[in-house]
Amino acid sequence: MKADSSSSSSSSFSFFFISVSTGRKYSTTLWKMQEDLKAINHTITPELAALQQNETNNVKTLQKVEQMVKNLTKEAKKVKSQFQDQIKKLQGTLQRLKCDLEDTKHKGTGPERGCCSWGWHLFQQSCYWLSSAEKSWPEAKQDCEEKQAHLVIITSYLEKQFVFRLTKPNSVWIGLEFTGHMWSWVDWTPYIMSRTDWLSYETDFHRYCAVTYRGRLWDKTDCHFRFRWMCEMQALR
């Protein structure tokens, strides 16, 4: 019985010694890991701070560049606008010289004549311009207005024949629109219906716009289809 007790005590001591040794090893390892983490933090923290500062500087630089681009864009638009104004003034001066030349040429040969810008056609006291591109009716209307003109408004048989001669055989937008209850010109003048003018004139409550048809009639069509168009403006004196 004594031998068994001695053996049990020896085993307990050995287990205790191993446990203490193992605990010391773990403590040493943990302490070493903590020291390593401190060293890493000591190294990384300044680097992170430097990166954050660089990022802040980069953001500030980017903001400055963006502001410079905005300022340059604004200045470019201003210069472009001034340049366009100068071109318009020069065109006006050239046009006045052209008109003076025409007046001198025809002085004493008949009633006073108007004159038109290059590319425009004179008829009576109006000037007419025919596009080469195609647009929807609203786009064509806007283009004429940007030219200080309007989509052509036809008020006489002679004017209608003049327009047909210029547009034949193309389909060309004119300044006539049906808005759901009546046809009217772009200057809000009501159109007096003449069925002999039209290839097809029946309408419902939709919006329609008018085009020339083969140089002899008008036709109604969807305003968003694309055709050439004709602008009209008062002749220059």
In contact, 220 and 210? CB cutoff 8 Å: yes
In contact, 191 and 185? CB cutoff 8 Å: yes
C-alpha to C-alpha distance for 34 and 22, rounded to whole angstroms: 18
Backbone angles phi, psi at 172, to 5 degrees: -135, 135
Average pLDDT, the chain: 80
Nearest to 229 by CA among 181, 159, 170: 170
C-alpha to C-alpha distance for 7 and 4, rounded to whole angstroms: 5
Measuring CA to CA, how many Å separate 187 from each of 6, 14, 105, 177, 227? Answer: 123, 113, 34, 11, 21
Mean pLDDT of 204-223: 85
Q: What's this model's pTM, rounded to 2 decimal places?
A: 0.59
Ranges 89-93, 105-109, 119-123, 157-161: which has the least confidence: 105-109
Q: What confidence tier does 78 reach under pLDDT thresholds 50, 70, 90?
A: confident
Q: What tokens does 139 get?
A: 């786009």
C-alpha to C-alpha distance for 131 and 167, rounded to whole angstroms: 10
List pLDDT tens digits, range 170-208.
999 999 998 877 889 999 888 887 888 888 766 665 778
Nearest to 233 by CA among 161, 148, 137, 143: 148
